[in-house]
Amino acid sequence: MKAMLLGFAAAVVIALGAAAAFNAVDHSTAERYSSPSVRL
């Protein structure tokens, strides 16, 4: 049980770190996959 809770905690920490890293890069999928002729 302790290992499972530790795994869940690690997954949450990794997810929050990834979200913070992607927000720091400041690239949205709308900017990445839109062409110049698309208004967003």
pLDDT tens digit string along 1-40? Answer: 999 999 999 999 999 999 888 888 876 677 767 777 766 6
Token pair for 15: 């997810």
Cα–Cα distance for residue pair 14/19, rounded to 1 Å: 9
DSSP state for residue 40 in the 8-state scheme:
-
Cα–Cα distance for residue pair 34/10, rounded to 1 Å: 34
Q: What is the pLDDT of residue 35?
A: 74
DSSP H or E segment with residue 38: none
Q: What is the pLDDT of residue 5?
A: 97
